[in-house]
Structure 1
Amino acid sequence: MVTSREIDIIEQDFTGRGEAFFHVSGAGHEATAVLNHHLIPEDWLHVHYRDKALMLARGIPIEMFFLATFSKDASHSRGRQMNAHMSAPELNVLSLVGPVGNSALQAAGVGQVVKEEPAKPVVLCALGDGMTQQGEVLEGIAHAVREQLPVLFVVQDNSFAISTVTRGKTFYSTPAGEANHFYGTPITRIDGRDAAGSLEAFGRVVSTMRADRRPHIVVFQVDRLSNHTNADDQRMYRTAEEIASVQAAGDPIIRLKQYLVEHGVSEADLDRISDEVREQVKADAYRAQRSAEPEPCFTAVKPLPARLADRQAEYRGAPSSEEKPLTMLEAIREVLRHQMQTNPDVVLFGEDIEDPKGDVFGITRGLTTAYGRRVQNSPLAEASILGVTVGQALAGKRPVAFLQFADFLPIAYNQIFAELGSMYWRTDGG
């Protein structure tokens, strides 16, 4: 938690001097780090952009945050992502999303893949309170409920969506009062200003999820102790008294220090640790600043692998008769059948594709009979189809998404344009 705060302080300093260009603070949100105590390597994390402390606890090095700040070649994305948009595939930390809320459906897709794994992993989907009103967040929760997936939705509620007050305007805080369930899923409220209490509360939630393999919603109540980003000035919409009040009473680091001192830890020892952390963060920051810049890349297309360029190796299917060539429908079905037969990771997800209907055009007819639950009907929700299959792919499956009609495509365009079309490049494959 202290490390995260020190990273914020130095990032703000670099940004203020014009040596870096963007900063988003995690100040006030640091107690999410305690969640990692209850996580295992097999768990997956779709984190929030204020989750520096949690990412540090998961194992992302201090220096990586500064490599991202300066868009350096050694950064996780080779300088392609916004510095707050981290990813670490080796730690099962998925790439942060630009359009907020896109993560929920992807997390549900990951949950669908890992639900039956022996280690009983859970999937974290961390959200801001403003983010919860995105339609795809509601679809993501709905899918996790519909399929009973082990997705932990953690809403980091600091009461603001930049300047907009969110209390009474969300699915968990409504004009009628505070909700205890959503879509039948329990909502647990945790005081994120109290790190010690949060440690115990998260433990109970995660333990329950490992046992019942069902979704859960946590509202993690925190105070935002900074501007939204370096482009914001909270004094425009918060009074000086309010800012002073939350900084005095809502700082989880101050409260944790008080707790530790009350329980016998020497204040001098804590100060020494803070000093050591500060020096380590400074050293990593300046080392990152001096590291190599990325080399310019003038093409976004990699050469086609030889195995894909060999036309003799192409699967042409089995024609319906020697006289007639395959129709387009038959060709598509035969390719799907061949892929499902040769690759157990191939799964199909879309509207009305299960037998006996087998798709409105009959493309998947017979595939459910042959391959069972690997062919699955989706809800009438095109964004869900794309977002869930993106998540399945991130977790190692090879999903095929079916959108029923071309008229339905615009509903899924967000996941296609903002995620599917750019994720590999913007993360440098991670």
Structure 2
Amino acid sequence: MKDLKIPKIHTIKNTPKETLEKWYRLLTIGRAIDEKAPNYLKQAIGWSYHAPYAGHDGIQLAVGQYFEKEKDHMYLYYRDMLTALSSGMTAEEIILNGISKATDPSSGGRHMSNHLAKPEWNIHSVSSATGNHTLHAVGTARAIKYYGEKTVAISNQGESSVSEGYVYEAINGADKEELPVIFVVQDNGYGISVPKKDQTAQRKVANNFIGFKNLRIIHCNGKDIFDSMNAMAEAKRFAIEESKPVLLQANCVRMGSHSNSDDHLLYRSDAERNYVVEYDPLAKFRRLLLRYDRFKEEELLAIEAETKTVIKAAHKAAMGAPDPDPESIHDFVFSEPMVSTKYPEGLHSETGDKKKLITALNETLKAEFRYNPDTFIWGQDMANKDKGGIFNVSKGMQQEFGEKRVFNAPIAEDFIMGTANGMSRFSDKIRVVIEGAEFADYFWPAMEQYIDTSHDLWRSNGKFSPNITIRLASGGYIGGGMYHSQNIEGSLAAIPGVRIVYPSFADDAAGLLRTSIRSEGLTMFMEPKALYQDPKAATVVPDDFEVPFGKARVRRDGDDLTLITYGNTTHLSIEAANKLADEGVSVEVIDLRSLIPLDEETILNSVRKTNKVLIVHEDKVFGGFGGELSAIITEKAFEDLDAPVKRVGSPFTPVGFNRILEQAILPNTERIYKAAKELSEY
């Protein structure tokens, strides 16, 4: 609790008057802003999205009063204006958010209005996907438990959010891990215009989770200040003392429309709208203060007059605040990478015994876990006796580093990704590595969390960097077929905020993995699984080798043609180049290693030298990453080209299971050779 001493059981009679006064001030200020917000839109000032909270007053006041800033961790949802105010944010800060000013502490105007945050207090930035931050709260609670803190993570959301699969994943994971997290479900009976009966068969949605072993379910009247305070007090006590999750369902009413883009007159009857107004929590609290003689009418009128003064001053200050600078759009797209001083180009000349790509990955993971004790890894099949991941990349890690740092996750890719996001929020010293899915093609269920995490840094205006490395076994040439041999990097490359690396050799795999883990921010680490054990990918791997992001590697010098590639096709391209060399054609092979950021300098310098370009990748030609490479070269080196940019990749089909079909689809040395020869003769 905050500075005021409040009894464990709250009633109108035993709560100190100074506390009741504080609550009434917060309630009146919050309601005043709630009612004023639509006027900003009408005057074209801002606040184009506003979800009024009126009818949720009791539970939102209670959650905020029981939140301890810089200690607890809070995840608000878009209707949580009073929760933010009760947690300590000021009226001015809330208006700054509403009208999207540069000094808005939530996002500096980058995120939608009504999405409130203050990361420096552990009031975390969340996106607009309903209830997706439940997974973040679980990840944060995992860190709270690991580091032995006596505190909680709090997730706030509406009742309709529990229809989302990732909310079930979050509650299931918190129950299984016995984590100190409180899921506050504010039930107003509607998901926009969809009534609760169309969401679930249960009258009380919390009862959908009644069979969970460790989950405590608490119901309260979210319209009533005292019932909400008592429920929140018990929820926090239980979560901390028992280190188990709580689902606190607060029965609320929604007095207005869902938001300013909704009109509840279209789907609610006069009787229902009159009913919810009658149950106005603020009006009820005011009547109680008078009925039990805790305040006189003139005292309440004085507080209400002061509220008007507060709102007027907050409005004036916010209106005078600066707007965001258009030039700032490029700030905080990517987090700061680690800078290598020993290997600035990601090259080495060491000799000795060669290591396979899988060995390089395994040894690098272990070295980084020794280097930073705040590094964690989880995923499917990660830690079963001697097994370490589906391909044994993490073999032996749990035995060395323990089950609290290396552990299995449920078969729920969104959970794996979302809890990584949440755990990284606990401390910037934490580094999380996840095996996002057993095969890259299975990563799609995690895309909602991947997208959310990709813009966390930008959305929070640089206040939160998700320091996560996502490992995915990618590509074909193994006879895997659907969900085991597809390529996804072309789709992922269209999403800003994520670095994407794709090594072809053991030393680059080790160096890029080390850089990914040590850097701030989100990195997608694609592993060509067909090369794990392949001798042609084996190299000498120096100790502590580092490969910077955005540094391509010239695998073969040439003068007649530039061949740009990465991943599995790097080796096929080198073979084709060697064959052409025997015929007098000099091919320069560039292994990109890093797709985002991209080493444009190395590419363009080579194009200026050879004047012809062949792009080769395993993914589909149509929509593949090669299309972006071709566009860059055409735009920036058109006058240096003596022939059209040519591409080799897969046709616009899935990769089939039968080896005959796979061979007909995926690029091979002969197809690359023929394309390069044809281009050289252009």
TM range (shorter): over 0.9
Residue aligning to 1:422: 455
- Which whole-Å deviations, capped at 9, do the CAs of 1:204-252 have from their partners, x for residues lacking one? 222122211101111100110111111111000011221122112x211
Change over 3 Å in CA distance of 1:305–1:253 after alignment to 2: closer
Q: What is the aligned counterpart of 1:217 among 239, 242, 247?
A: 247
Change over 3 Å in CA distance of 1:275–1:167 after alignment to 2: farther
Residue aligning to 1:413: 447
Residue aligning to 1:245: 275
Which letter maps to 2:99? F
Residue 349 of structure 1 contacts residue 378 of structure 1 at CA under 8 Å; is this kept in 2? yes
Residue aligning to 1:14: 40
Q: Residues of 2 paired with 1:288 and 1:366: CA distance?
A: 56
| Partner SS, residue 283 of structure 2 | helix
- Which whole-Å deviations, capped at 9, do the CAs of 1:60-119 have from their partners, x for residues lacking one? 121111111221110121110101112111221111221112111111101100025554
Q: 1:316-355 to 2 correspondence within 5 Å?
A: 323-354=352-383, 355=385
Change over 3 Å in CA distance of 1:302–1:326 after alignment to 2: farther
| Partner SS, residue 51 of structure 2 | coil
Which letter maps to 2:445? I
Q: Does 1:39 align with 2:67?
A: yes
TM-score by length of 1: 0.92
Q: Residues of 2 paired with 1:268 and 1:54: CA distance?
A: 27
Change over 3 Å in CA distance of 1:336–1:199 after alignment to 2: same
Residue 129 of structure 1 contacts residue 158 of structure 1 at CA under 8 Å; is this kept in 2? yes
Q: Residues of 2 paired with 1:85 and 1:325: CA distance?
A: 52
| Partner SS, residue 130 of structure 1 | helix
Residue aligning to 1:394: 425
Residue 196 of structure 1 contacts residue 256 of structure 1 at CA under 8 Å; is this kept in 2? no
Residue 95 of structure 2 contacts residue 314 of structure 2 at CA under 8 Å; is this kept in 1? yes
Q: Does 1:25 align with 2:55?
A: no
Residue aligning to 1:191: 221
Residue 231 of structure 2 contacts residue 248 of structure 2 at CA under 8 Å; is this kept in 1? no
Q: Residues of 2 paired with 1:58 and 1:301: CA distance?
A: 27
Residue 129 of structure 1 contacts residue 170 of structure 1 at CA under 8 Å; is this kept in 2? no
Residue aligning to 2:323: 293
| Partner SS, residue 392 of structure 2 | coil
| Stretch deviating more after TM superposition (60-69 or 132-141) | 60-69
**1:55 shift after superposition:** 0.9
**1:311 shift after superposition:** 4.5
Which letter maps to 1:415? Q
Q: Does 1:95 align with 2:125?
A: yes
Q: Residues of 1 paired with 2:364 and 2:345: CA distance?
A: 10
Residue 333 of structure 2 contacts residue 458 of structure 2 at CA under 8 Å; is this kept in 1? no
Aligned length in residues: 424
Residue 332 of structure 2 contacts residue 461 of structure 2 at CA under 8 Å; is this kept in 1? no
Residue aligning to 1:271: 301
- Which whole-Å deviations, capped at 9, do the CAs of 1:352-394 have from their partners, x for residues lacking one? 1114101121211111111012111111111111011111111
Residue aligning to 2:84: 55
Which consecutive residues of structure 1, in runs of 5 or more, have no partner in the other structure? Answer: none
* Identical residues among aligned pairs (%): 27
Q: What is the aligned counterpart of 1:235 among 265, 268, 272?
A: 265
Q: Residues of 1 paired with 2:200 and 2:334: CA distance?
A: 47
TM-score by length of 2: 0.59
Q: Residues of 2 paired with 1:314 and 1:218: CA distance?
A: 54
**1:178 shift after superposition:** 5.6
Q: Which has the higher contact order (CA 8 A, sep 6+)?
A: 1
Which consecutive residues of structure 2, in runs of 5 or more, have no partner in the other structure? Answer: 1-26, 464-682
| Partner SS, residue 312 of structure 1 | coil
- Which whole-Å deviations, capped at 9, do the CAs of 1:337-363 have from their partners, x for residues lacking one? 121111111100111111410112121
| Stretch deviating more after TM superposition (352-361 or 163-172) | 163-172
RMSD: 2.4
Residue aligning to 1:5: 31
Q: Residues of 2 paired with 1:303 and 1:164: CA distance?
A: 38
